Structure formats: C-alpha cells, structure tokens
C-alpha cells in the first residue's frame, strides 16, 4: 500500500525546522529533504536528525540541482557536480537516510547534441553508483520534464541510463507530472521495466508542472488509473510536489487530503476524477 510524503521544497519559504513541524502536523508519513533547504538552514546534521526523530517522519534526500550538471561540457563543472553528489551521499549516510533522488545531466547549450553527452552521463553515474554502493544507499535518478536541454525524459532514455550503469544501487525516481509533459502517464508507467525507488506526484498540464491538486486545467492528470497501474510495480511512498506561490500551506493541506483519498481508493477511482 502506498504511503504519503512531501517534498520540503514546497515549503521553501519556511525555515527547515518549521517545515518539518508543519509536514508532521499535516499527517504525512514522510518528507523528502532538499539539500538546498538543509544547507540553508544552518543546522548541524545531528540537530536535523533529532528534529526528524521527534516528528516521527521517515525521510529521504533530494540532491541539490542548482548549478549542478553531471554532463556539463565544462570538465571542471562536471567534476564538481560529481564531487558535490558524493558529499550528498556522505551527508545522507550521516543523517541515516537510505535514498537520494538525483537529476540526470543535461545539455549545457542548445547547440549540444544529446547523443554526444551519453558517455559522460554514464561515466558520472557509474562513479556515483559505485560510491553509493559503498555507502549502502540507493540513488533514484529522476525522469525529467519536456524542457530545453533535458535529454533523459522517456522510458527508453531513463532505462538506458540505469541499464548501462548496471548497479543495484541505481533505480528510478518516477515523476508523474514529468511523464505528463511527454505523453500518457499510464502508458509511461506500464512500460517501466527498471526498479522504481521513489515516486513524485503532483497535478500538471502539458505545459505546467507541479500544480495544486485542485487545478482546473482541462488536460490535468487522471490519477486513478495511473495509481492502479503503479501499484503493480511499486508500493512505497508518494512524494507530493504540488506548489502554489503564496498559498503554500493551503496547497500542502489539500495535497494531504487528496493523496489520502487517492491511496485509499485508487483501485475504484473513476475515469472522470478531477485528481
């Protein structure tokens, strides 16, 4: 059965301590801590570990994505991106987390050709996977949304990365909103043949990601059939990423209510569901 969690990034306006308290008080089972939130908090790892223990939340880490690019055509940036990922693995181990979500590398320029960057992508992830194996952690590489410079979007592309690295520590962080940007979400889920380590969930239109669950977008996701298909391959946590500026708490509250309903009723959700 699915459990429900939320990204700390949807409460990015709050200090990390307060964000953890809010997530716990809203009935979520877990929290995905963004490294940017952690490093900006000024809190030591033991302080954060104590806060999480008091909250009763399970927890995982989302690696920082700001100015990080594991396939940068600048070798120095690529090397630094791998080094910072190693630091995140070390931190996660110290904190007691067992899972890290990581974005794949992307093109540095619109003039780049994706195929030219695949060797660097595989090389970076082989290093990261080997390091995570030694640390006893899992890495979930996220399928990305349709936007300029991304080239790991489809089932085929994310499978290529995971298969070619060939490490038991590397699997998929499935972002359902990102799937929606390139095609039918249910079909994407059906076609997955690699291990799913983590799932991100939020509403979306074809052009806008991570919308609140009460969006009126006509091309929003119908989650009932999607979760029924997902349940055949995954029974872990669904991490909320719905966000609305200046209505963060209200959006989080709604997400908790909707995800609770969905996880209890996904097998019988009708095709005209607004969720």
Q: pLDDT above 90 covers what percent of the chain?
A: 95
Q: How confident is the model at residue 266 (pLDDT cuts 50, 70, 90)?
A: low
Q: How far apart (Å, rounded) are the C-alpha atoms in residues 25 and 10?
A: 15
Q: How far apart (Å, rounded) are the C-alpha atoms in residues 165 and 29?
A: 32
pLDDT at 172: 99
Query: Does residue 252 fall inside a structural domain?
Result: yes
Query: Does residue 22 fall inside a structural domain?
Result: yes
pLDDT at 267: 47
pLDDT at 265: 73
Q: The CATH number of the domain where 263 resides is what? A: 3.20.20.150
- pLDDT of 264 above 90: no
Beta-bridge partners for 149: none
Query: Does residue 273 fall inside a structural domain?
Result: no
Overall domain count for the chain: 1
Query: Does residue 162 fall inside a structural domain?
Result: yes
Domain encompassing residue 147: 3-268
Beta-bridge partners for 73: none
pLDDT tens for 56-81 read 999 999 999 999 999 999 999 999 99
Q: DSSP letters of the chain?
A: --EEEEEGGGGTTS-HHHHHHHHHHTT-SEEEEEHHHHHHHT--HHHHHHHHHHHT-EEEEE---TT--TT-SSHHHHHHHHHHHHHHHHHHHHHT--EEEEPPP--SSTT--HHHHHHHHHHHHHHHHHHHHHHT-EEEEEPPPS-TT----SHHHHHHHHHHH--TTEEEEEEHHHHHTTS-HHHHHHH--S-EEEEEE-B--SS--SB-TT---TT---HHHHHHHHTTT--SEEEE----TT-HHHHHHHHHHHHHHHHHHGGG--TT---
Mean pLDDT, rounded, for 145-154: 97
Query: Does residue 274 fall inside a structural domain?
Result: no
- pLDDT of 117 above 60: yes
Q: How confident is the model at residue 45 (pLDDT cuts 50, 70, 90)?
A: very high
Beta-bridge partners for 240: 6, 201
pLDDT at 274: 44
pLDDT tens for 187-237 read 999 999 999 999 999 999 999 999 999 999 999 999 999 999 999 999 999
Task: Indicate the burial class of 272 (C-beta count within 10 angstroms; 0-12, 13-18, 19 or more).
Answer: exposed
Q: How far apart (Å, rounded) are the C-alpha atoms in residues 269 and 87?
A: 42
Mean pLDDT, rounded, for 151-160: 98
């Amino acid at each position: 059965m699915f459990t429900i969690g939320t990204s700390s990034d949807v409460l990015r306006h709050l200090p990390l301590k307060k964000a953890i308290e809010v997530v716990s008080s809203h009935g979520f089972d877990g929290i995905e801590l963004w490294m940017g939130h952690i490093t900006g908090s000024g809190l030591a790892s033991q302080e954060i570990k104590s806060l999480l223990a008091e909250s009763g939340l399970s927890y995982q880490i989302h690696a920082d994505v700001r100015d990080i690019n594991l396939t940068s055509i600048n070798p120095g940036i690529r090397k630094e991106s791998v080094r910072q990922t190693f630091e995140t693995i070390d931190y996660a181990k110290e904190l007691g987390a067992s899972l890290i979500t990581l974005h794949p590398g992307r093109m540095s320029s619109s003039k780049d050709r994706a195929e030219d960057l695949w060797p660097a992508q595989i090389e970076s992830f082989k290093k990261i996977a080997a390091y995570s194996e030694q640390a006893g952690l899992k890495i979930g590489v996220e399928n990305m949304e349709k936007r300029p410079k991304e080239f790991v979007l489809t089932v085929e592309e994310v499978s290529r990365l995971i298969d070619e690295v060939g490490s038991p520590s590397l699997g998929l962080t499935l972002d359902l909103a990102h799937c929606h940007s390139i095609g039918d979400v249910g079909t994407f889920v059906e076609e997955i043949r690699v291990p799913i380590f983590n799932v991100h969930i939020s509403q979306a239109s074809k052009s806008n990601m991570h919308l609140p669950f009460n969006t009126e977008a006509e091309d929003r996701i119908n989650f009932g059939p999607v979760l029924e298909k997902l349940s055949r391959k995954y029974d872990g946590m669904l991490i909320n990423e719905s966000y609305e500026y200046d209505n963060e708490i209200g959006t989080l509250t709604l997400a908790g209510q909707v995800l609770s309903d969905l996880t209890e009723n996904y097998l019988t959700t009708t095709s005209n569901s607004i969720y």
